[in-house]
Amino acid sequence: MSEQVKEKRVKKPKSKARKIIEWVLTGIFLALFAFVLAGQIDGMVHKKDHYNQQLRFGYGTFVVKTDSMEPKYMIGTALITYNEDADKIYERFQKGEEVDITFVDVYNTNNEYTSPLNNPELTKRTDPTGVPMTHRVKEVHVNNNQEKGKGKYTFITAGINTRSTNLGWKEGEPDIVINQYQAFTEKEILGRVTVNSAFLGGVFSFVGSPLGLLVLLLIPAFYLVVSSVIDIFKAYKEPEPATEGAGGQPNNNNGPVTLSEADKKRLKEQLLEEMISKKKGESHESK
């Protein structure tokens, strides 16, 4: 009789299309990871050059905390800035563009003067806070005796919200006159606002919260659990692999082995020969 063949599950090979998709997705993931890592390193390396604010490849992300720039930038809106060259910012202002820039407020400035361009008081604070602010450029003073990056430009900015509670406006009172100016040089600029999004602001706020961090940690764990359950379910649903019966015929193990007519005839001959041999052996022993 033929020997029984051990059951063995054979893993189906992946299709070519599936392999290509997996390689593409893996390549995209690795590229994004490398880009984010490089940006993080760049931001950390140059952090001291921007008052401890991280700019990744010149781009920075900030979330609006006050109402001084409403209704354009509502509280909670995310801003993406680009650390544009001071000459380019000045050129935009000269052309009449509305230029909103994010800067670090490190100077003692006179908040009441009506013509800040005439007398900007650029005296650094003894303990600068280095808090990022975003306001609109109102005036620009150019000192050609100074090199760019060393105080050639003096930017004068202010908020645009005439009902800003930060400036003392109260419900029912007339609109206030915006006269809270900031004066600073190009050295304190973090970037010109290029993108603003309330949706991104919500995402940034959520990710920065304890609940958001918890969710980010649980997503990979949830994926591993779900994928494992799916694999187990697929393995359970797969039919038992076929085994070979007598004569090399496949057997699905769902019932008795089915023999062909040739196998039956051969089996009868083998049994007959065994019986004849056994009888001859017994008669020889009796003699």
55-68: pLDDT as tens digits: 888 899 899 998 88
30 and 156 part of one domain: no
83 and 212 part of one domain: yes
139 and 203 part of one domain: yes
267 versus 234: which is more confidently predicted?
A: 267
206 and 188 part of one domain: yes
Nearest-angstrom CA–CA distance, 169 and 204: 29
85 and 211 part of one domain: yes
CB 234 within 8 Å of CB 217: no
Domain region containing 61: 49-216
pLDDT for 153: 93
pLDDT for 129: 59
Length of the chain: 287
Residue 88 resides in a domain = yes
29 and 164 part of one domain: no
Per residue in 45-54, pLDDT (tens digit) is 777 777 788 8
- pLDDT of 89 above 70: yes
| Structure-token pair, residue 69 | 């720039």
Residue 156 resides in a domain = yes
Range 215-241 average pLDDT: 70
Residue 22 resides in a domain = yes
35 versus 121: which is more confidently predicted?
A: 35
The residue out of 216, 237, 252 marking a domain boundary is 216
Could you tell me which of 160, 192, 182, 188 has the C-alpha nearest to residue 91?
192
Per residue in 164-179, pLDDT (tens digit) is 887 777 787 777 766 6
Q: In the structure, what pLDDT confidence band is assigned to residue 287 with cuts at 50, 70 and 90? A: low
- pLDDT of 192 above 60: yes
99 and 169 part of one domain: yes
Query: What angle separates helix 210-237 from helix 198-208, to the nearest 10 degrees?
Result: 90
Residue 228 resides in a domain = no
CB 119 within 8 Å of CB 154: no
The residue out of 216, 250, 272 marking a domain boundary is 216
100 versus 265: which is more confidently predicted?
A: 100
Residue 245 resides in a domain = no
Per residue in 15-27, pLDDT (tens digit) is 777 778 878 877 8
112 and 205 part of one domain: yes
Nearest-angstrom CA–CA distance, 132 and 190: 8
- pLDDT of 280 above 50: yes
- Burial-class residue 139 by CB neighbours within 10 Å (0-12, 13-18, 19+): middle
**For the chain, how many structural domains are there in total?**
2
The residue out of 200, 216, 232 marking a domain boundary is 216
